[in-house]
Amino acid sequence: MAAGTLKRRSREPRSPGRRTNPDSVGRAGRRRLETGRARKGKMQAAAAIAGSLTAGLKPGDILGVIRDRTRRVIGGECWALARLDRDNQAWEVTAAQVQSDGGPEFRGRVALDHPFLASILEFPGAPVFGLRSLGPGAGNPVPPFPVAAAFHILLPLVTGGHLTGVLVFGHSTGDSLDRSDREFLRLVADQAALALENAHLCEQVRASRAQLVSRQVALEHQLKRLTVTDDLTGLYNQRDLFEQLPREMERARRSGSACSLCLFDLDGFKEYNDTHGHLAGDRLLRTVGAVVSRTIRSKTDRAYRYGGDEFVLLLPHTSRAEARVLVDRIRRALSLALSDAVGFSAGIAEYSPGMESRDFIEAADRLMYRAKRKGGNRLEPEGARQRGSA
């Protein structure tokens, strides 16, 4: 053959049996077009699900979004989410629902080798399609999951390359799902894995915040307690007395209720301290604090160490006569606890309108010293005199 010339390839005559039917070519094209459109619609539905699974959703809300959206695309009868808890060797079923909104739900833990979920562990990351469900009377391995479908599909939830859970999808004709349906479910499972992990992290953050807030409140309460508490006796200190007394007096003035104030000290405490030493004296004061604390009414009364061996009782809603009963009970309890090592002299004053805090304290103080002048170890509740009286 001369250079530059091309060899013409001869065509064989087309066999009559191989002739293409234009109608069949059209039907195949339409099927491919419909399949492509259906697949595109499912991919768009999967993307819409991803947009709906916003951060902060709880597992039940996540499953609700998945249930509603997948049901529109490929149907379905039941759904469940289970998180893999490797530390406790269990599945934490965070949500399970059936087709109707009012259907039964289950939340709780099931064993890691639960017969229904264990199959997902055999090939981590691989879906299990067409897991047939038997009826409850035939030893159904599905409970505690909803049993509303003939077939169940287990879709692994993978985060960071590790199996973190499973999405259960029940379908009455699960074995007839086509390739695009399964691809759609895989995409949904990927979104569910991310959403469930976010929900778990958000729950941990919420729990941590709640714990921090609780700890902060406890610390603030402890700090407040320390600033108003006497270290030795555990009673409130003088600072708290000057904060609380005006409030209780104002409350008594507005409501017309009674309010009494008792000031007492320990007769012979200085001699006891000089004889037995300061450590013994501190132990005695701690005993006084403990006895007073358990004798007063904890919800209404407040006890204070006023200074040295002097103590104050603030008794809201308490008349002078009622206060005398309570103070006498404290005197007898202290006498028993201290084996009469020291005496007990007390003055009890009752609030009257027009009094200032200083007047109220001085009234009780004068009565206490009157009790001491009369020999001590006694109560003086005869009422508050005017300032400047003997």
Phi then psi dihedrals of residue 44, to 5 deg:
-65, -40
Residue whose C-alpha is closest to residue 187's, from 92, 53, 86? 53
Q: What is the spatial distance between Cα 259 and Cα 329, in angstroms, rounded to a whole number? A: 18
Longest alpha-carbon distance in the chain: 150
Question: What are the catalytic residues?
Answer: 309
Residue whose C-alpha is closest to residue 377's, from 336, 324, 332? 332
Residues in the chain: 390
285: which 2 tokens? 């004061």
Residue whose C-alpha is closest to residue 365's, from 353, 348, 383? 348
147: which 2 tokens? 């049993």
Q: How are beta strands 379-380 and 162-171 bridged, if at all?
A: unpaired
The alpha carbon dihedral of 234, 238, 239, 243 has a sign of positive
Residue whose C-alpha is closest to residue 280's, from 338, 364, 224? 338
Instruction: Using alpha carbons, list the distances in angstroms from residue 282 to 44, 233, 270, 286, 288.
Output: 79, 9, 12, 6, 10
Q: What is the spatial distance between Cα 88 and Cα 21, in angstroms, rounded to a whole number? A: 64
